[in-house]
């Protein structure tokens, strides 16, 4: 870590380093992250040394000092665990903000309501982690809930933490939309992809204007006369891949277009990563769990209450 810091510092001190601004900004962000990790490590190491010295004194002291030592050890363990997670999230995109796309599956109105529950769950989770959560796009259900929603979690390591939520989620409960009170099973899919700034070249994918079909339209839902009368919403279709993204939450068409372009780059990056994973899996005769048949988590509310994480169970 220290060696990499020295290398990046020398690189940024070069007079021509900022001729390539995107690369320099990337190196600067990496340098800041490494410095923060190294500072935290040294702080934890100093605290650990001090705790060892106090432990020796506590053996010859009263129980009160021993009790204080236990509480400080618990605090140290919590901080060390959090620091360890940041070391595990070492991929280049783990530090990025994240898009979370929630879509209702089979189950009709019940599935739309489940999709809304998941979107609210990820919103509250993001807030609890200190992330800023923005709704990029949302399509309401015919009766209740949502057909789909795209959230943007802004903050360091948002993608690193959220990436493992991708997959199919299943809900089993007594449906409030069934007058007979029957038990229903519904599905929703969650897709997580890293967010890339407009000036970022991390994604490594070039977007040619000739490959894009850009459509403007009026935004749906609340927002006043401006969004209802002005075509501020933007839909972008990437013709070669067929991927379509929409943004209608901003009042400005220019801003909606910028957010939609960022979301499109994120989707294309995800497709490329899936292709690489599939190629690697084919070499090892492994089929990655991608599709509606791959449930990663089940939420059972009737006849018993159980949340089962399929990835953990399969690992065991």
Cite the beta strand spans of the chain per DSSP E. 98-104, 132-140, 146-154, 167-174, 183-194, 212-217, 233-238, 243-247, 295-300, 306-309
> Closest by alpha carbon to 274, among 192, 157, 195?
192
The CATH code that applies to domain 93-195+289-316 is 3.30.70.1660
115 Cβ contact partners less than 8 Å away, ≥ 6 residues apart? 102, 103, 104, 141, 145, 146, 147, 148, 149, 188
Per-residue pLDDT of the chain (316 residues; tens, 9 = 90+): 788 888 888 888 888 888 887 778 778 877 887 887 788 888 878 877 877 777 777 676 666 666 777 777 787 777 787 777 777 787 878 888 999 999 998 888 999 999 999 999 999 999 999 999 999 889 999 999 999 999 999 988 899 999 989 889 999 999 998 888 889 999 999 999 999 876 555 556 777 888 999 998 877 655 555 455 677 889 999 999 889 998 887 778 888 888 888 888 888 888 888 787 777 556 545 444 434 456 889 999 988 899 988 866 544 4
Q: What is the pTM of this model?
A: 0.71
Measured CA to CA in angstroms, residue 275 lies from 237, 268, 270 at distances of 20, 11, 9
The CATH code that applies to domain 211-285 is 3.30.160.20
Name the residue ranges covered by the structural domains of the chain. Answer: 2-88, 93-195+289-316, 211-285
Q: How far apart are CA 309 and CA 288, in angstroms?
A: 17
């Amino acid at each position: 870590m220290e060696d990499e810091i020295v290398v990046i510092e020398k690189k940024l001190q070069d007079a021509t380093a900022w001729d390539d601004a995107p690369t320099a900004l990337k190196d600067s962000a990496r340098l800041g992250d490494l410095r923060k990790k190294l500072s935290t490590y040294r702080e934890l190491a100093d605290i650990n040394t001090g705790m060892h010295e106090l432990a020796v004194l506590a053996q010859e002291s009263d129980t009160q000092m021993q009790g204080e030592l236990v509480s400080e050890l618990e605090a140290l363990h919590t901080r060390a665990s959090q620091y360890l997670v940041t070391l595990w999230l070492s991929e280049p995109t783990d530090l990025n903000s994240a898009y979370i796309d929630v879509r209702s599956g089979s189950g009709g109105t019940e599935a739309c309501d489940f999709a809304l529950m998941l979107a609210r769950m990820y919103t509250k989770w993001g807030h609890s982690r200190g992330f800023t959560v923005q709704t990029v796009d949302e399509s309401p259900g015919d009766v209740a809930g949502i057909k789909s929603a795209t959230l943007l979690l802004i903050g360091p390591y948002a993608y690193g933490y959220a990436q493992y939520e991708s997959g199919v989620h299943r809900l089993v409960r007594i449906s409030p939309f069934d007058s007979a009170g029957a038990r229903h099973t519904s599905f929703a899919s969650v897709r997580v992809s890293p967010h890339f700034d407009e000036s970022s070249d991390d994604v490594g994918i070039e977007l040619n204007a000739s490959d894009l079909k850009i459509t403007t339209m009026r935004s749906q839902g609340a927002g006043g006369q401006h969004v209802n009368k002005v075509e501020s919403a933007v839909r972008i279709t990437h013709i070669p891949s067929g991927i379509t993204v929409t943004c209608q939450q901003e009042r400005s068409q220019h801003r909606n277009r910028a957010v939609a372009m960022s979301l499109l780059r994120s989707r294309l990056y995800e497709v490329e990563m899936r292709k690489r994973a599939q190629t690697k899996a084919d070499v090892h005769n492994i089929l990655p769990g991608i599709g509606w048949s791959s449930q990663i988590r089940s939420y059972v509310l009737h006849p018993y209450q159980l949340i089962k994480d399929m990835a953990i169970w399969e690992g065991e």
